[in-house]
Every structure is written in C-alpha cells, then in structure tokens.
Amino acid sequence: MRSRTPYRWIIAIVLFVAYSIQYLDRVKSSVLNPSIAHDLGLTTADIGTGAFLMLLFYGPSQYVSGLLTDRFGAKKVLIFSVVAWSFMTMYMGLIQTRDEYLWRMALFGVLVGTEYVPSARILMRWFNKEGRARAQTVLAWAWILTPAWASVLATQFAAHANSWRVVFFVTGAMGVVPLVMIALLVFDRPEQYPKATEDDLEYAYRDEIAAGTIRKGQYTNVQQIILKKGSVSLLDLLRNPTYVAVIFVDIVMQITLYGALTWIPLYLSDAFGFRLQTMGWWSGLYFVAGAAGSLLSSWMSDKVFRGNRKIMILVCFIGLAPFVFLLGSLQHADHVLLAIALCGMGFFGNMAWGPFLALPAEIFSPEVYGKAMGFVNGVGYFVAAFSAKIFAALVTIDALGKKDYTHGWYFIAICVAAGVFAASRIRTAKDVVREPAQSTAVQ
C-alpha cells in the first residue's frame, strides 16, 4: 500500500506556489527597471530611493503582520496580503511619473509586508525541529527560485509585447490563483485540518511532547495550553543572545538578497551592455544556483547536523564573500568569470535561509513565531532599506557616462563579513536549550 504524503508537505508546496506568485512583482520590477527608468525618466538614485522606500515600510509592516498573525490567525492575514498584492501590482502598470513611482513603492511596502510571516508561522506549527529548515527552504524558494524563471519570463514578455506595463497587468490578475489555494487548502494548525491523522498531530507537537509541555493526544486547546506555560514579550526576545544574533544575520541576508534583486540587472545592463532579453538569462544564474545551495544547506542542517543551525549559516557567509568581491572587481565582460561570480554568489548567498529562519521557533515556541520573526524581518528590511541608498550613492559615473558599480559590491562584501561575526554568536542546538529565555517559553 502506498504511503500517504504528509499534509504538511502539501501545505508547504501550496505556500511556496502562492508566495512565488506574490514575489513576481519584485522580480519583474527589478529586471524591468532599465525599461521603467527610461520610460519614466528615473535616475539610478531614483531606483535606489524606490527600493529604499519599499523596504523602509516593508520592515515595520512585517512586525505588525506578525502581531496580527499571532492574534487573529495566519490564514486571514495571508488572504488580505494576496488581495493587496494584486491591486498594487496592477497599479504599477498605470503610473506615469517619478513621484507616482515613489509613492507606489512606499505603499507597496506597507501593504504586502503581510506575506512572509503568516506563511512561515503556519510551517513552524506543522513541522517540528527535524524538518523546519527544509520546510523554510521550500518557502524560501519563492524568493530564490522565482527570479530564475520570472526574470526570463518578464523580459521576454515585455520585449514581445513592447511594453513593460502589460507584464504588471497580467501578473496582477494572477493573484486569484494564490487566493483560491490559500482559502481551500491551508489551515493554521494541524488540529484544524478535518482529515488530520494522529501521526500528523504527534509529528507537529513532538517537541512540546518531549519537553513535557503537553501530553501525547492532548490536542484540544493546545495553543492556549502552550502559551499558558509561559508567554514571551518583546523584551524576553531581546534578552536572548541567539535571537539578537539572528536579527543581525537577517540584516545581512536582506542586504544581500535585495542587492542582487535590485542591482544585478542594472549592473549587467550598464556595465556589460546586455540587452533586456540577455540580461534576464544572466540574472537567472544567481537564483538557479541559489535554489541548489539552499536545498543542500537545509538538508544538512536538519539531517546531518541535527538542528545545529550555526554551521550552515557560517558556511553561507564565508563562502559568499569572495564571490561578491569577484563580481565587484570585473571591469570587462568576461563571461566565464561573470558566470562563476553569479553562480557562486547565488549558491552560497542563499544557504542561510532555511537554518536561520527556523531558529526563532526553536529558541522560543512556534506559538510566538509571528511576533519573533516579525520583529527580526522588521529590523532586517528597515536596515536593508538604507543599504539600497548607500549602494546607489557608491555607483560612480566617469567622464564618458559609464557607470561603475565596484564600490557598491564591495560594500555588500563588507556587510557579508559582518555576517560571519553575527553567525559566530549563535549558540548551538544543545546550548540553546539551556538559555534562560527558552525556559520562559516552553518549560
């Protein structure tokens, strides 16, 4: 008899597909930036300001969405997020001026900062420690793997339609797909799924059962029981040294991710003269390699290192730094070195997602993951917003009008080096159990 696929993996795949569709906006906006900038008369500084505004408001929205998720449930917040995303994506196709562009980027950050935290919160409750990094990596593929195909699709679509605006209208209408999937297939908690088996429930609550927080088979009002054992305030979060280290790891990860999303397409267009269609293919190298690196890292974090998240996070930053330097040092269109730099950045630069995104649920509890991860991402995106302005300011233009992105990439490389220090402050899985804040959460 063929074994049944655990429903938790079906939910993980649904959330990945839904988030991938939502992530289309950022991908196509980045690869179409050369066309958008030409049409609207935007400068490099304007593009940097747009990214700054989006991330500036996206950060606080993450924390607010985390609080709302813990209070009202993840599914409700996700449905709002999809509807807001669809409207904001189609609105992008209507803008005509620089000011409209900047206002739209700010409003987009506010409204769609509600997408990640509720998705991750659902996975943290359906998966226990032995599968969380892999589950988070499936979700992370939404922002790792989506750009690999979406950058090509968006550039080809815009080129054949002879309009970047049509791309936004069509993809905005695609919001109906994640809306239906979430409404029909996603459940906040395993006990809310009508067809949940005893194995589903025992797997989801294995950590709490092992800790003595609940008894096996005791799944009625389990959320209240877990929270009653010990609530966690924001101050409790910040007292935990590993949690603080995770915040700084997230800052570096967001700077790296949005550095790649925002600047690689412009870099390839300005520095190497790649046309729109060609640039889309080259941009995709970073993300294809990123999908492979994140999958390998999460599997090793769960299975080989048995929940020791620190190792693969360190590998991520140590391996990433030389490839960022390589990309920044390229002065000519050496296609071999360019491919090595993009693939190396993608492979190592995305290794930390699964391991570090699982940590807040393991330091504290999945029941407070919304608040914990919302604050982490809130700070991460807020700081990354200023990095976009810094990168833009470091782009120089010579007497012939050619742009030099070297110092911008070196800036990101320095941030990556700081990430090595932050990752070194993470306690191992064994040590995390002994930290004071852990006993407050799930003793």
More confident residue, 24 or 325: 325
| Residue-level pLDDT at 78 | 93
Q: Is 252 among the domain residues?
A: yes
Confidence of residue 333 (pLDDT cuts 50, 70, 90): low
- What pLDDT does 438 receive? 41
CATH (domain of 196): 1.20.1250.20
Give the residue-averaged pLDDT of 130-148: 87
pLDDT score recorded for residue 431: 44
User: Does residue 2 lie within any of the structural domains?
Assistant: no
- For residue 77, is it within any domain? yes
Cα distance between residue 179 and residue 187, in whole Å: 14
Identify the domain containing residue 37 by its residue range. 7-442
Distances (CA, A) of 73 to 78, 301, 362, 437: 9, 29, 20, 24
Mean pLDDT of 106-126: 91
Asked whether residue 197 is domain-assigned, the answer is yes
Query: Does the residue 1 lie in any domain?
Result: no
The domain total for the chain is 1
Question: Is pLDDT at 170 greater than 60 in this prediction?
Answer: yes
**What is the sign of the dihedral through the CA atoms of 391, 392, 393 and 398?**
positive
* Structure confidence at residue 277 as a pLDDT band (50, 70, 90): low
State the pLDDT at residue 207: 86
Residue 329 has pLDDT above 90, yes or no: no
pLDDT (0 to 100) of residue 115: 87
Give the separation between CA 73 and CA 80, rounded to whole angstroms.
Answer: 12
Lowest mean pLDDT among 103-117, 167-181, 416-430: 416-430
> Per-residue pLDDT for 387 more than 60?
yes
Report pTM: 0.80
Alpha-helix runs per DSSP H in 162-197: 164-173, 176-185
Quick check: is 273 in a domain? Answer: yes
User: What DSSP element (H or E) covers 241?
Assistant: helix 241-272
178 in any annotated domain: yes
Query: Residue 366's pLDDT band (boundaries 50, 70, 90)?
Result: confident
Whether residue 1 has pLDDT greater than 50: no
Is the pLDDT at 51 greater than 90? The verdict is no
Distance CA 346, CA 353 (A): 12
Interval 84-107: pLDDT, tens: 999 999 999 899 999 999 999 999
Q: For residue 441, what pLDDT is reported? A: 36
- The pLDDT assigned to 316 comes to 95
In a domain, 253, yes or no: yes
Residue 272 pLDDT > 80:
no
C-alpha distances (whole Å) from 353 to each of 35, 163, 171, 243 are: 31, 34, 26, 15
- Cβ contact 17:78 at 8 Å: no
